[in-house]
Copies of this chain bind each other. A is one copy, B any other.
Amino acid sequence: MNETLQEKLRDQVRAANLAFYDAHERGSLPLMQRIWEHSARVVCVHPGWPILRGWSAVEDSWRRILGGPGRAQFILTNEEISVSDDMAWVTVDENLMTVQGALAVAATNVFAHTPDGWRLVIHHGSPMFPNGRSPAADQH
């Protein structure tokens, strides 16, 4: 892949990733629906949640989250993007300001390059423990 194409793809993936957080901040299910691939293979792990698989279960979780009263503001830091031929992933720290206080989440977002553009196929968010490691970190 030449550098110009690589840079173009990275810009597309960066925009798709920002659109995900924008949809979240706006509490917009229609925007969130546009970002995801609507397929059986999609996976979503909200921080602390069990694994959700398939668009139906994932969409339902967003319907409930975005339909709820809470609104989050995401300050994204430490972003990095990797692009292969038809897959890309973004890792980023989600620094959240919520009514309950500050929270930092480590997020992995995997996008597939489809005829309709980059679509989210995996979102995995996990709370970062304040001291940087979990009680069981040495076992894992």
Is the CB of A132 closer than 8 A to any CB of chain B?
yes
By beta carbon, the residue of chain B nearest A48 is B134
Copies in the assembly, this chain: 2
Q: Of A9-17, A28-36, A70-78, which binds chain B?
A: A70-78
Asked whether, in the complex, the Cβ of A80 is within 8 Å of the Cβ of B100, the reply is no
Asked whether, in the complex, the Cβ of B89 is within 8 Å of the Cβ of A50, the reply is no
Is the CB of A87 closer than 8 A to any CB of chain B?
yes
> Pick the contact of A124 from B49, B93, B124, B135 — CB < 8 Å?
B124
Is the CB of A120 closer than 8 A to any CB of chain B?
no
Is the CB of A41 closer than 8 A to any CB of chain B?
yes
> Pick the contact of A108 from B43, B69, B135 — CB < 8 Å?
B43
Q: Would you give the 0/1 interface string for A72-112, flagging 1 where the beta carbon is closer than 8 Å to chain B?
A: 10000010101011110101111010111001011010101
Binding site for B on A (CB under 8 A): 24, 41, 43, 45-51, 53, 65, 68-72, 78, 80, 82, 84-87, 89, 91-94, 96, 98-100, 103, 105-106, 108, 110, 112, 122, 124-129, 132-140
